[in-house]
Amino acid sequence: MQEDRSNETHHYEEPVQALLTLSRSIDWLNEKCGRLFMLLVLVAVLISTGNAVVRKVFHMSSNAFLEIQWYLFGAIFLLCSGYTLLKNDHVRIDVIIGRLSQRAHAWIDILGGLFFLLPFCGIIIYYGVPLFVKAWTIQETSADAGGLIRWPVLLLIPLGFTLLALQGVSQIIKNIGFLRGQAPFPSLKKEKSGEEQLAEEIKAMAVTKEAA
């Protein structure tokens, strides 16, 4: 009888473990994408600085420099959205959910992912792909003089929301694994936010000044 119960438990655990393996693969993908696309911040800063210098010194400029900055901002925002969800750094309203248990929190994340996040991403992807295809087909360009082609920035929309949707699936899987006792609580932050790190640095500087 005990062996039968053990086999039955193992039978139910196998699908969850397979899904957790998929979740880890999605986490790996968004981790790599996030760290790669963070570099676009530096690229945007360099282009912005170069454009300002050329405009002030040589009295020359182009709409292409402005538009590439908009494209890069869009790329950073969209392509890092899955990474942000992975790190649990999206804005949350914790007035209510912060008072609930971890199990209640997990259920809210599962239902929110299934009924809000994934459908929203699906709608954006559904309408975003035809926009990209149309721009690619006609090689649409900016209406401004010296502007850039439009299809790369339109491609960012379905691509970014695909990464976000995949991470949403991963978070749902991890919450299910947590509820079944097969994974840790996924919404627990493992890393300090930028604001927390800055606050600690300011506090450390104040302590150093007082000691001096």
pLDDT tens digits, 17-38: 899 999 999 999 999 999 999 9
Token duo for residue 145 = 């003089």
Phi, psi dihedrals of residue 65, rounded to the nearest 5°:
-65, -40
- 150/109 Cα distance (integer angstroms): 35
- Which percentage of the chain shows pLDDT scores above 70? 83
Is residue 147 pLDDT above 90, yes or no?
A: no
What is the reported pLDDT for 39?
93
What is the reported pLDDT for 12?
55
Q: What is the pLDDT of residues 168-205, one digit of tens each?
A: 999 999 999 999 999 999 877 655 655 566 567 677 77
Contact 67, 142 (CB under 8 A): yes
DSSP category for residue 115:
I
Mean pLDDT value across residues 143-166: 92
Contact 72, 20 (CB under 8 A): no
DSSP category for residue 89:
-
Q: What is the pLDDT of residues 54-85, one digit of tens each?
A: 888 888 878 888 899 999 999 999 999 999 99
Phi, psi dihedrals of residue 165, rounded to the nearest 5°:
-65, -40
Contact 129, 89 (CB under 8 A): no
CA 28 to chain centre: 12
- 179/104 Cα distance (integer angstroms): 10
Is residue 47 pLDDT above 70, yes or no?
A: yes
What is the reported pLDDT for 22?
95
Kind and range of the H or E element at 47?
A: helix 39-58
Mean pLDDT value across residues 155-164: 97
Is residue 132 pLDDT above 80, yes or no?
A: yes
Classify residue 188 as left (phi > 0), alpha (psi -120 to 50) or beta. Answer: beta
Q: What is the pLDDT of residues 73-131, one digit of tens each?
A: 999 999 999 999 999 887 776 667 778 889 999 999 999 999 999 999 999 999 999 99
Token duo for residue 12 = 């139910």
Count how many residues are written for the chain.
Answer: 212
Is residue 5 pLDDT above 70, yes or no?
A: no
Which residue in the block uniquely carries the two structure tokens 């840790």? 184
- 7/187 Cα distance (integer angstroms): 31
CA 123 to chain centre: 18
